[in-house]
Chains A and B, each alone.
Chain A
Amino acid sequence: MKTVKLTEYTRFSGCGAKLGPGLLDKALCGLSQKDYPDLIADYRTSEDCGIVRINDKQALIQTIDFFPPIVDDPYLFGRIAAANALSDIYAMGGTPISAVSVVCFPKDTLDISYLRAMTEGGLEALGEADTPLVGGHSIDDPEPKFGYSITGLLDMDSILFNNRIEAGNQLYLSKPLGTGIINTALRGGMVSQKALDAATKTMSTLNRKTSEILRNLPITACTDVTGFGLLGHTCEMLSGNGYTIEIDHSSIPVLPDVKEYLRMGLIPEGTYRNKEFRKSLIKDHDSIDPDIIDLLFDPQTSGGLLFSIPKESCSELERQMKESEINVVRIGEVKPGKEEIIIV
């Protein structure tokens, strides 16, 4: 079998294939459905998953995520796609219970062994999440895409909403930024092995353990950083609260060589869409170094959890994360004030 580069089968850079947030808003804004008494979150909110109550104690949560190849190795691509889809469940504080795969595959131009390898990689990650694969759906498509719909369960009293921040909360991030930029450098043929290895490792890592630790701490808001970039998802945290979030950009962990790629203009198109949609919420966005703002709007694939916690619980959080060898970093703070993000 001829070895091919999976990423050459697509025009897009991973999550950069998303329809832009502005465009989605146009499609969905104002569309309503019946009032369902047990519906807690649907497409009209910007939650990580849809939520439906199934009894007094529990809710069912559902999510789906699939995208074109972001790495050339099909096994790793499958693994990353599963870690990424599971992440939405973990961002809500839920437990995944089943997975269904979504497959678009070019049967005439790509050997079927690639699909087998993608599925195998996905099964490995699902196994780590103790989540059975129950089925899937495939169509013939010239551009390969792969991912999962995941169903999970959630205790009603431990839902991690994404916008219930409180003044004084500290903001944390559990994975470094830059996967979108590294993917662009890969597609430009300018990526270093070091950068690629680091990005692959972080994208393949499940947010399971991080989420399990958060469930037992007084977390006020939590989401996972994906296609809208760190600042896009931070904006969702802001909504409807009347608080300011201050982000210290120098504290944010960054994957290797990303800063050099930024200076070379290896920036996914999604970054520009994200920035355009949300820049009005960023204080003095025009005077911030473009390298900084573009990194903070970089669309992430299988990114880390972004969460807020009262100050007095920070040392306990940091102790538990350290014990589990998870590298969470404090990147900002919630303050009383105008609804905006200040980058310092």
Chain B
Amino acid sequence: MKKSIDARMLPCPKPVVLTKQAIDEGDFTLLEILVDNIAAKENVLRMLTRYGYTDVEVDETEYGFLLLVGDRELVIIDEEKKNEKIVLFTSRYLGEGDAALGTMLMKGFIYTLTELESPPASLIFMNSSIYLTLEGSDTLEDLLRLESNGVEIQVCGTCLDFYREKENLKVGIISNMYSITERLMNGEVLNIS
């Protein structure tokens, strides 16, 4: 069911309080929040991030902003997540050198992740590494398998926009710098580039 909150004309921190109430009650497939100022938009986004809703659509409207949140299982980012293994990808190739070799090594690396007894908790793709998550990527199958085994896959939204590939994304969730940074600061990070 769709839930709507009209938080226009409400003083801070009322929009955040109403959003928290809606999250606590749960029971929605789409949550729509209307706000009329930047502070309310930013604050509500934070509250949503805090409760694991990282893929929020924000539309600018004539009266302010409309925030759209799809339902998903609540992932409260907390102490439990600390010290989990996170792999940060920043390039489509593994290592500097010949591109064909770099591609092959990356494919091999991601395949090997699927064979591990305890795979990393999270894979984060930034800059040109986002190509690994797109339609036609030869690592896509392995990434989908990792995702179905519970590995979180976050793909940098700014990077997808920059390379104009957002509609070709085939695996993972579109993420932002804030939630990526939070993830990186709270885990054991392995940087593959």
Contacts and interface: CB of A to CB of B under 8 A. Distances in A.
Nearest to B49: A263
A12 interface: yes
A188 B11 contact: no
A188 B13 contact: yes
Contacts of B39: 267-269, 271-272
Interface stretch (B40-48, B112-120, B130-138, B143-151): B40-48
A265 B46 contact: yes
Contacts of B181: 289
B13 A187 contact: yes
Contacts of A12: 11
B11 A265 contact: no
Contacts of B11: 11-12
Contacts of B86: none
Contacts of A271: 39
A272 B42 contact: yes
A13 interface: yes
A190 B178 CA distance: 23
Contacts of A16: 12
B57 to A, nearest CB: 17
Contacts of A188: 13-14, 16-17
A184 B178 contact: no
Among B12, B14, B16, B17, residue most surrounded by chain A Cβ atoms (within 10 Å): B12
Interface residues of B, number: 20
Nearest to B10: A11
Contact of A269 (B12, B49, B178): B12
Nearest to A10: B11
A13 B12 contact: yes
Interface in B19-57: 20, 37-39, 42-47, 49-50
Nearest to B40: A269
Contact of B37 (A13, A189, A269, A289): A269
A185 B17 CA distance: 9
A217 to B, nearest CB: 38
Interface in A228-271: 262-269, 271
A290 interface: yes
Nearest to B43: A265
Contact of A264 (B12, B16, B42): B16
Contacts of B37: 269
Interface residues of A, number: 22
Contact of A263 (B13, B44, B46): B46
A265 B50 contact: yes
Interface in A263-285: 263-269, 271-272
Among A16, A190, A262, A269, residue most surrounded by chain B Cβ atoms (within 10 Å): A269
A189 B17 CA distance: 8
B47 A265 contact: yes
Interface string A168-194: 000000000000000011011110000
Given A12-B11, A189-B17, A266 B50 contact: no
B10 to A, nearest CB: 9
A265 B13 contact: yes
Contacts of B46: 262-265, 267, 290
Nearest to A11: B11
Given A187-B13, A188-B13, A264 B20 contact: yes
A11 B13 CA distance: 10
A264 B50 contact: yes
Contacts of A263: 46, 49-50
A265 B48 CA distance: 9
Contacts of A185: 13
Interface string A271-307: 1100000000000000001100000000000000000
Nearest to B16: A265
Given A13-B12, A290-B178, A265 B38 contact: no
A266 B178 contact: no
A267 B17 contact: no
Interface in A14-58: 16
Interface in A186-225: 187-190
B172 to A, nearest CB: 23
Nearest to A286: B177
A185 B47 CA distance: 12
A272 B47 contact: no
Interface of B: 11-14, 16-17, 20, 37-39, 42-47, 49-50, 178, 181
23 contacts: A11-B11, A12-B11, A13-B12, A16-B12, A185-B13, A187-B13, A188-B16, A189-B17, A262-B46, A263-B46, A264-B20, A264-B46, A264-B47, A265-B16, A265-B43, A265-B50, A266-B43, A267-B12, A267-B42, A269-B39, A271-B39, A272-B38, A272-B39
